[in-house]
Each structure stands twice: as structure tokens, then as C-alpha cells.
Structure 1
Amino acid sequence: MKIGIVSDTHMITKFIDKAIPYLKDCDLLIHAGDNFSDSKYIHNMTNVPIMAVKGNCDFENVEDELVFDIEDKTIFLCHGDKYGVKYGLDELEIKAKSVNADIVVFGHTHTPLCKEKGKILYINPGSVSFPRGVAYKSFVILDIDNGKINMTEIKI
């Protein structure tokens, strides 16, 4: 299964549109918040199913965390602000372990990260609108096939 992962798009459609050609080929999209309304825009532009949560800049009455299974992998999706991700992964790790997550997808820092800690893979796709800590805008394509995980960072 090919999964497009974005976060922190902040309603800047001219940058979101640069990611759309890559996202159209996905089986599922994940949006880790800021701004939730962008998940609807991306879905309308790609017609790909999307799992999305709200971030600290969102005011919609929607979930701020989701746990779901894809290809025998449990994914925990959140924005990350409630877990202090700007200061490390410790709080997020506690939550990930409590839900038996194999993969954690989060945003908030606007800085791309792919880190395996223990047996949990942590993915922050960065931001397609306002990157921090890097000189490029980014998102991630995650491929899960027969239990194997491959991740590609896309720079735009």
C-alpha cells in the first residue's frame, strides 16, 4: 500500500498543489494537522481516501488522534503538539507504546524526521508550506508491502 503523508500545509494551496501529482498515485493519504481543511482540499484534488487529524491551528470539531491498521501495521496519527514533540519524542513514545503502534505519524515541528526507536518508526513529513530546520519543503511517500516498510522523502 502506497501512503502519502503530509502535515503543516497551512492553507497554502500553491505549495500543496506541487505535491498533488505525487499524491494522486497513492492508495491512502495521511494529514497530520495544520490545517485540517487542507485534507479536504487534497482529497478533492486526488480522489484518494484520507485520514486526517486536527492540529494546534485547527478549530474543526474533529479528532486530534487516530489509531488504525494498515497491512498488519498499527499507525498512531497525531499532530504532536500535545506530546511536546518540539522537545523530543519521549512523551510520544509513551503514547505509541500504549496503543501498540508500529508507526507514529506526527507534525507540528515542520521539520522532517524519520527515526526508528525500539521497534517503532516515527515519521514527521516536514511541511510543504513552511519548513523549519531545513531549506526545502517536504512530504513523505510510505510504502508498506508484505510487512516491509519503505519511505521516501519528497522535496519540493
Structure 2
Amino acid sequence: MRIGILSDTHGDLLSAQRALKAMGNIDLLLHAGDTYRDAKLLEEMIDIDVIAVKGNIDFHCEAPSETIITIEGKKIFLTHGHNYNVKFNLNRLYYKALEINSNIVIFGHSHMSMHKKENGIDFINPGSISRPRGGTKQSYAIMNVCRENVDIQLFNL
């Protein structure tokens, strides 16, 4: 399954649409928060499912702040990351992944893309397509998941 991953769109639907076009054919879009409303608007624009969580600026939003999905036998934990202090380190996310037996953790919040594998757990932050930080560029991720393999690629917009 080919999965597009976005985070921290912050109302920049034009950049989100550019990222979706650059992704090509995807089977699912994951949005790791900030802004949840963007994920819902994108879902109306495209003909695929969008799974999203709310972020730290999604005030008065009834959406979940985290969710767990299973794809091709891989357990994926999707969160924005602000509740796990991801701007400082991944320790709390790592222990959460162990607690729930997650294979893949997708998060945002830092606005900086990264992929790290720690003790068999993939940690993916697609960065931000609207407001990149730390000298990074607008970015998104693509994840190909099959039972035997997970392939993760980060792209600049």
C-alpha cells in the first residue's frame, strides 16, 4: 500500500495540493495534525481516504489527538507529537510505541522532516509543507507498506 504523509499544513492548501500532486498515486493519506480542518478539506478534494489527528493549534476540535491503524500487518501510531515533547527528543514516543507494540510512529509538530529506526520501530516526521523550520524545506513523506517490508522516503516540495 502506498501512503502519503503530511503534517503541519497550517491552512496552506495550495502547498498541500502541490504535495499531493507530487506524491502521484497513493492509496491513503495520513495527516499528523496542525491543521485538522486541512485534512478534511483535502479528503473532499481527492478520491482517497484521509486519516488525521488534531494538533496543538486545533482548538475546539473534536478530532482524536492520536490513533492506531493496522496496515498490511504493521501497527501504525499516528499523533501530532506535542503531547510527547518531540521537539526535544523521541523518548516518550519510543516508550509509547513499545507500550502499544507499534511498528511505525508518524508524528509532526517540529516542522522538520526525519526518519529514524530505533530497535525495529520506524519514526517518521514528514516535516511541514507550509512552515519548515531549522533550515529545512517544505516536505512530505511517502511510505510503501507490505507484509515483508516498509519503505519510507522523504521529499522536499
TM class, shorter-length: over 0.9
**Letter of the 1:55 counterpart:** G
**2:123 matches 1:122:** yes
- Counterpart for residue 34 of structure 2: 34
Please tell me the root mean square deviation across aligned C-alpha atoms, in Å.
1.1
Q: Could you state the TM-score of these two structures normalised by the residue count of structure 1? A: 0.96
The runs of 5 or more residues in structure 2 that have no matched partner are none
Equivalent pair of 2:27/2:48 in contact (CA under 8 Å): yes
- Counterpart for residue 82 of structure 1: 83
Task: Tell me the alpha carbon deviations over residues 33-87 of structure 1, each in whole angstroms, 9 at most, x when there is no partner.
Answer: 0000010121122221011000001021110010110001000010000000011
> Cα offset for 1:24?
5.5
Q: In the aligned structure 2, how far is the partner of 1:94 from the partner of 1:103? A: 13
How many residue pairs end up in the alignment?
A: 156
Q: Could you state the TM-score of these two structures normalised by the residue count of structure 2? A: 0.95
Equivalent pair of 1:24/1:48 in contact (CA under 8 Å): no
**Letter of the 1:124 counterpart:** N
Task: Tell me the alpha carbon deviations over residues 85-116 of structure 1, each in whole angstroms, 9 at most, x when there is no partner.
Answer: 01100011111111100000000000001000
- Which deviates more, 38-47 or 98-107? 38-47
- Counterpart for residue 141 of structure 1: 142
Q: In the aligned structure 1, how far is the partner of 2:80 from the partner of 2:108? A: 5
Q: In the aligned structure 1, how far is the partner of 2:65 from the partner of 2:148? A: 27
The runs of 5 or more residues in structure 1 that have no matched partner are none
**Following superposition, which runs of at least 4 residues in structure 1 exceed 6 angstroms of deviation?**
none
Q: Percent identity, please.
A: 40
Structure 2 counterpart SS, 1:42: helix
